[in-house]
Chain A
Amino acid sequence: MYKYRKIGLVIGISVLAAFVLIAIFSPVLAPYDPYKITGAPLEKPNRNHLLGTNNMGQDIFSRLVCGTRATLIVGFGGALLMVLIGTCVGIISGYYGGKIDELLTRAVDVVMALPMFPLLIMLAMFLKPSILTLIFLMGILGWTGCARIIRSQVLLFSESNFISGVKAIGASDIYIMVKHVFPNILPLVLVKFVFATQDCMLMEVGLGFLGLGDPFMIDWGQMINRAYIKGGFALGLWWWLLPPGVSIAFLSLAVASVGHSFENEINPRLRRMIL
């Protein structure tokens, strides 16, 4: 069991690292300019076009490689913002307790009650869609789950002796939160971050598919959308449809496997701490 988890982690991290490298070096890796027409429309995969071309004659492989960026940026960026807000709210809420806690918990409940994806679609439609808007929207809509879990974790040990001990030394609240509370929930924050990344990636592709992605960037969702609208499904043009779909599936699986490995690794330690 232990070995199996390790394998999952190694595979997950390697796949993830591969995608990150592809995203960073996409201009070098892509054989053609993804926007330029470099071949005949709807070419099957061949020596010149590894994955064929789309209806406009653009190279699908190049588009796939360049599309990696958008998904990764939105995935990591959105998750970072989510976890940042969630952790701050969670720590403050759990540490201070009382009225502050009540207020923040209500806020969490309210935001949590909002249906996230539909709201995201609406807001993305109204606001000018860009990568930054997407990250911002995901961040301010998706922090609640993280805040809740962090709060309960902080509650568990803000009563514990060592916190009282540090208080008795004469440390300020902010010092205690930064120096003692945060490091102790860091593993949990990491796990939350990884899973949030997966969510954000999937949402990004979903929005792209609905045509709500950043119009100035190529992204996988948008690629599937194009293929779908222009009849890729109906005509059975698999090389047009499959690559972005398979990519997001792989990426998402890799992230999930990293997340689960982290979670398993951390849980016994968290438990020991609480005990």
Chain B
Amino acid sequence: MIEVENLKKYFSSGMLRKRYVKAVDDVSFHIEKGETLGLVGESGCGKTTIGKAILKLIKPTSGRVIFDGVDLLKLKKKKLRRLRPRMQMIFQDPDSSLDPRMKIGDSIAEPLKLQGDINKGEIKGKILELVETVGLNPEHVNRYPYQLSGGQNQRVVLARILALNPDFIIADEPTSSLDVSVQAQILNMMNDLKREIHLTLLFISHDLEVVRCMSDRIAVMYQGKIVEIGKTEDIFDYAKHPYTNTLISPTSIGDRVILDRDMKNASDYTLGCVFYQRCPFAVERCSKKEPEMIEIGKKHYVLCDRVT
């Protein structure tokens, strides 16, 4: 369904001496139709950048994103616009994901209107149908986003996206700003929708437990690179990368490991493993040679030289 190959996004700063921050560095993965891939990592590891780069909401530095056989990055603006409704993104902060000056109903209707050839009566019916699908009341239609709670706004975002009948959705921390009880409601609803309409999903989160509930496979990201990718069970039961292990049991990791993380961006080093400075198992050669992805099980890959 979707294939990402060697995707890179570098941000440059400085006028004369350009410095680059590798937000996404040579990332490749694919998602099958109807499958959910979870993308886990800490803040600033580049997971949101990946999401936006796939949809071309920001321009990647290089690489290929193939959606349904079409390379998105080579597409002309007009053609891309026609393809966009099929791929959607849910953002982290639901309150800023809606136009504050548009009523809920208008926000949901907007994608329908943009698609054209649909009359007013049909739109009205469709809005009510969508509002019900995401568990809102019809009376919410005439309200503004600031009158609703975060959880309700996230439902509106979902309704708006479902109006387009997308094939592929990127959910970027859709529940991280919500309370646990609301989070459970939203995640359950997404799981139901996934089953009903065979959605393909890229689920981005910093919370491994949440990702576990949602995903068929999980990719773990660190400093712009995917360090481990595999089936959900494999990641939890047979995690091989030291970083994945720290995520699974964060309390087990010593003080040194966290606090040595003084480097703020990835531009400070060029050689060696990205996790070298924090890795409790690092040896000399880890700082010299960049590790390569190794297949260690069925569909289970690790970016570490010391795993054999």
Contacts and interface: CB of A to CB of B under 8 A. Distances in A.
Contact of A167 (B84, B100, B101): B84
A169 B110 contact: yes
Interface string B82-104: 11110111011100111111100
A170 B160 CA distance: 13
B57 interface: yes
A190 to B, nearest CB: 14
Nearest to A160: B96
A165 interface: yes
B93 A161 contact: yes
Interface string A165-199: 11111111001000010011000000000000000
Identify the interface centre among A161, A165, A170, A273: most chain B CB within 10 Å of its CB.
Answer: A165
Interface residues of A, number: 19
A175 B116 CA distance: 14
B47 to A, nearest CB: 15
B101 A183 contact: yes
A164 interface: yes
Interface residues of B, number: 28
Contacts of B97: 161-162, 165
Nearest to B52: A164
A155 to B, nearest CB: 15
B114 A169 contact: yes
A80 B98 CA distance: 30
Nearest to B80: A170
Interface SS of A by simple majority? helix
B159 to A, nearest CB: 12
A47 interface: no
B85 A170 contact: yes
Contact of A184 (B57, B91, B100, B146): B100
B81 to A, nearest CB: 5
A170 B84 contact: yes
Given A161-B93, A161-B96, A164-B89, A169 B146 contact: no
A166 B57 contact: no
Interface string A259-273: 000000000000011
B146 A272 contact: yes
A183 B164 CA distance: 24
Contacts of B87: 168
B63 interface: no
Contacts of A273: 100
Contacts of B272: none
Interface string A148-166: 0000000001001110111
B3 to A, nearest CB: 19
B202 interface: no
Contacts of A161: 91-93, 96-97
Given A161-B91, A162-B96, A184-B101, A168 B157 contact: no
B288 to A, nearest CB: 39
Given A161-B93, A169-B85, A183-B101, 4 more contacts: A162-B100, A165-B91, A168-B89, A170-B114
Interface of A: 157, 160-162, 164-172, 175, 180, 183-184, 272-273
7 contacts: A161-B91, A165-B157, A165-B160, A166-B99, A169-B164, A170-B84, A180-B99
Interface of B: 52, 55, 57, 81-85, 87-89, 91-93, 96-102, 110-111, 114, 146, 157, 160, 164
